[in-house]
Structure 1
Amino acid sequence: MRHTLPLTPQFYVTAPQPCPYLDGRMERKLFTALQGDSAASLNDALSHQGFRRSQNVLYRPSCTDCSACLSARIDVSKFKPNKSQRRTMRRNLGLQRRATSPWATEEQFDLFRTYLDQRHSDGGMADMDVFEFAAMIEETPIRSRVVEYTDSESRDLVGVSLTDVLEDGLSMVYSFYTPERHQQSLGTYLILDHIEIAREAGLPYVYLGYWVPGSDKMHYKSRFAGLEVYTGDAWQPLGDPARFEDSQHPLNTPPIAEQVANIQLPDILGTRK
């Protein structure tokens, strides 16, 4: 018997588990598979609606009583670096950028392990081995790049970003860097450089993942001018971060069926929601 993929994406929900951003909360995700000839179109369409990619899965937070996680992107045309960000760019003038195909290397994995061990030793990725790392980098059904940053003097690899190329921007799927170089603010620099890459390519946005008000580890994203967040089924300027409270209420998140019904799908095989 011949089996074929469904004509439209099928959406599922993960079981609740402890939230990695806010203590005492439980997270749940709405997700669908990213596969087939229309993977790029689906990734573009759902990225515009707050979804993120992890290998061949697209997901979005769908917690039962919390809506703190907001997908964030930078409007390149409205971005102007502040004084601190200009200093960061000057400190990293000695780095060289190289964009390659999504292929994992031992040097990348060594840097990845160092980053996790020092920055996220208790996180969900802490136990990833070299095979899982290779899958994270290489299992992509869409146009992706690995952007490497190397010290021009020592030739050491100091930063890496797995980046998707969308129709309207760059999506920084996952980034890691040398933790010891505190003065260089490498995490900030990788975002600043992606803004420049997007500008050079004529792409209007840089997608950063989720911004979570109330989470210290996500606060840095609110420092970028031109930041937009996806809320109320639309992108809107962040403005004053203080106006976004990490709300928690039983009626705050619509039922799953309603969420799925409101997702706008691309015109795949003549079908559009």
Structure 2
Amino acid sequence: MRHTLPIAPQFYVTAPQPCPYLEGRMERKLFTALQGESAKKLNDSLSKQGFRRSQNVLYRPSCADCAACLSARIDVSKFSLSRSQKRILRRNDALERRATSPWATEEQYDLFRTYLDSRHADGGMADMDVFEFAAMIEETPVRSRIVEYVDKGSNELIGACLTDVLDDGLSMVYSFYNPDMVKNSLGTYMVLDHVDIAREAGLPYVYLGYWVPGSDKMGYKARFSGLEVYAGNRWQALTDPHEFDARRHPLSNDPIAEQVANISLPGSEPARGTE
């Protein structure tokens, strides 16, 4: 019988480019491929260490002179609704959730384009065409769902979220919604609904992506109770957001080789990195 040895993931670093969240800063990412039979285990393991998925790649910020981007998740057991969040739920009572397999539709793409053109016209995804959108939704080597939110009366698609199902929670990979419905706070509503989904499924966490103190686009995540951030190689409760102000993180990242050496992999394989 022929046996093959498991290959440890290789880690790489992107070239510096302008940060999309903090003006005047440069971003750099540490990343690895997500493929093969161990894709799910690797996604589960690295998500717990601050990584995010984009199609078949797992990445984590690794900037040379800034550590403002912190992976964030909600501890479902410690989450409680604020008064404003209760109002948001009531405002969206006319919406119905529909969870489906990760297949892209024209209706989704139309809503996605409307959302980008209104909210992120100068972002890195601004030029994404229908084929690239379909790849974002459908090219997933792990267990994923598209969670759609439709108006009960008109059946119109109002919002959607590409969601990964991890062994310890839900990861909201990317969400988009009708930008004209400002009063509905749809971004917050979809997070609240994912907390309900996780609670119903007995999953302890909802992963929200990166919280960036000092960024108007990403700072809203601090308003969710039970929030934890991955800092100092561990998850810790977010108590005072000002403790993580971006200006307090100059030169705080370890060298790439040390970062890779500290990554825990499924089966305790040694990680290998390339700068």
TM-score past 0.5 threshold = yes
Query: Deviation above 4 Å: which 4+ runs of structure 1?
Result: none
1:188 and 1:5 mapped to 2: Cα distance? 45
> Matches of 1:113 and 1:263 in 2, distance apart?
36
Checking the alignment, whether the CA contact within 8 Å between 2:103 and 2:137 is kept in structure 1 is yes
Stretches of structure 1 that go unaligned for 5 or more consecutive residues are: none
Q: Deviations over 1:183-238 (max 9, x none)?
A: 11101000000000000000000000000011111121000000000000000001
Deviation at 1:252?
Answer: 1.4
Alignment partners' CA distance in 2, 1:9 and 1:55: 16
Count of residues in correspondence between the two structures: 268
Q: Which residue of 1 aligns with 2:258?
A: 258
Q: Is the aligned partner of 1:147 residue 2:141?
A: no
Q: State the one-letter code of the partner of 1:43.
A: N
CA contact (8 A) 2:115 2:176 kept: yes
Q: Could you tell me whether the CA contact under 8 Å between 1:67 and 1:247 is conserved in 2?
A: no
Q: What secondary structure sits across from 1:217 in the alignment?
A: coil
Q: Report SS of the residue matched to 1:162.
A: strand
Partner residue of 1:23?
23
Structure 2 length as normaliser, TM-score?
Answer: 0.95
- Distance in 2, matches of 1:72 and 1:248, equals 18
What is aligned with 2:90?
90
- In structure 2, the CA distance between the partners of 1:13 and 1:248, relative to structure 1 (3 Å rule), is farther
Matched, 1:246 2:246: yes
Q: Which amino acid aligns with 2:239?
A: G
Question: 1:266–1:272: 8 Å Cα contact kept in structure 2?
Answer: no
- Residue by residue over 1:43-86, the C-alpha shift from the partner in whole angstroms, topping out at 9 and shown as x without a partner, is 00000000000000000000000000000000000000100000
Aligned mates of 1:249, 1:22 — CA distance in 2 = 13
The residue that corresponds to 2:114 in the other structure is 114
**Which residue identity does 1:147 align to in structure 2?**
V
Specify the alignment match of 2:181 in structure 1: 181
Give yes or no for contact 1:65–1:248 (8 Å, CA) kept in 2. no
1:129-148 per-residue CA deviation (whole Å, 9 max, x = no partner) reads 00000000000000000000
Over the residues paired in the alignment, what is the CA RMSD in angstroms? 1.4
- Return the TM-score normalized by structure 1: 0.96
- 1:180-259 matched pairs, under 5 angstroms: 180-247=180-247, 251-259=251-259
Which sits farther off after the overlay, 155-164 or 213-222?
213-222
Secondary structure at the residue paired with 1:73? Answer: strand
Residue 245 of structure 1 and its aligned partner are, at CA, apart by 1.7
Residue pair 2:163, 2:172 contacting (<8 A) in 1 also:
yes
Q: Which amino acid in the other structure matches residue 130 of structure 1?
A: V
Letter in 2 for 1:141: P
1:61 match = 61
Structure 2 counterpart of 1:267: 267
Aligned sequence identity (%): 75
